[in-house]
Amino acid sequence: MNIASFILPKADVSYVRDSMTLRQGLEKLYRCGYNAIPVIDVEDRYVGVISEGDFLWNILYYNQKPEDVSAKRLESTTVRSIMQGGKVRPVCIDTAMETLLEQAQTQNFVPVIDDRNVFIGIITRSEIIKYFAEKKRKTQ
C-alpha cells in the first residue's frame, strides 16, 4: 500500500538540522511545542529524532546543577552530537500500514523517507489510528 495520502509533508513539519547548536535546537523545540522532532542534515537526509529528554539529559550530564548551564556550552555543542541514533526508524512510501501501527505504539510519529534517504515528511500516530478505526468501521 502506498502511504502517500497519510503523509504530512516536510514543508508542514517542524524539524531541526543536525548542525544546529543545542540552543537553536531547544528554541525550535520550544516554539513548535512538541516533545520530539525529526533531525535532517544539510542535504535533507533523515538523521534521526531528538527529544526534550535528549536535550535535558545532555545538559544535566555536563552541568551537574541546572544553575551551572552555560550559554557557551549550549552554543558549542551540535544537535547531532547528542542524538541517540536508531531510536526512531524511518519508513519508505510503500510500507504497510500494519508496520506503521507497530512503530506508532512507541512514538508519536513515523518519519518517511524516499529511496535516497531524503526526509519527505511524517505520518502521525493519530492518522494511523484513524485509518484502522475507519477500516474496522467499514467491516462491521
* pLDDT number for residue 85: 65
- For residue range 102-139, what is the model confidence (pLDDT) as tens digits? 988 888 999 999 999 999 999 999 999 999 999 888 88
For β-strands 119-124 and 16-17, DSSP reports them as unpaired
pLDDT of residue 40: 97
Q: Considering the chain, what percentage of its residues have pLDDT values greater than 70?
A: 89
**Phi, psi values for residue 123, rounded to 5°:** -120, 125
How confident is the model over 47-72, as pLDDT tens digits? 999 999 888 888 777 665 666 666 66
CATH architecture of 4-139: Roll (3.10)
- Listed by start position, the domains of the chain span 4-139
- CA-wise closest residue to 60 among 25, 86, 22: 22
